[in-house]
Amino acid sequence: MNLIIGISGASGALYGKSFLKHLVTHQPGASALIISDAALKVYNQEYGTKITSREEYLEQVLEQTGNTVHSFTLYHPSDYAARPASGSARYDAMVIVPCSMKTLAGIRHGLASSLMERAADVCLKEKRPLILVPRETPFNEFQLENMHALSRAGVVIAPASPGFYQHPRNLEDLGRFMTGRIFNLLKIEHSLFQPWEGLS
């Protein structure tokens, strides 16, 4: 499976980290990875780190992962000539996790003002699956409208709102839950959480 993965500057760096960590051990393939400047800032804020490059981010995020079956090619968000900018490059789907309101608005309005937005634009025109994991609270009217318009255009809006009926014990469990839900959408086999079997 070849994905385009966007990590943008919404809060919830752990969701992006969890997705990459589990993808690398669950699903063979090679994905394009686009990390915004704001995503690095938010990661540093939330993990108390001082990461300055995308390479360093990837190294930290993937440290201590087991058997790696998936690789990543890093692309700078201003590299408009990169492979994910063209519909002629074949990818199976795109996921932005977490997705900021800014990037979400840019996709809705077709701005293509970064490689991440351009790649999402391409996914839409090529009718490829596009999954956005937004994080904000509360939402303003424009943000709700943007999500509604994107959903009508076939985009999956999968908010970063993990369920608590699985009794998460720590932040890692919250990440596993969201990653599992994205894996379900991508049809990637996993055992990141027990599927709900009903109460009776």
Q: In the complex, which residues of this chain contact ligand FMN (CB under 6 A)?
A: 8-11, 36, 38-39, 41-42, 45, 100-103, 135-136
Instruction: Provide, rounded to whole angstroms, the least separation between the CB of residue 36 and ligand FMN.
Output: 3
Provide the token pair at 184: 């379900």
31 vs 103, beta carbon nearer ligand FMN: 103
Inter-axis angle of helices 37-47 and 54-62, nearest 10: 40
- Diameter over CA atoms, the chain: 55
DSSP 14-26: HHHHHHHHHHHHH
Contact status, residue 135 vs residue 99, Cβ threshold 8 Å: yes
Q: Give the shortest CB-37-to-ligand FMN separation in angstroms.
A: 7
89 versus 111: smaller Cβ distance to ligand FMN:
111
Q: How far is the CB of 98 from ligand FMN (least distance, A)?
A: 7
C-beta of 116 vs 182, nearer to ligand FMN: 116
**Nearest residue by C-beta to ligand FMN?**
9
Count of alpha carbons within 13 angstroms of residue 92, beta-carbon side: 12
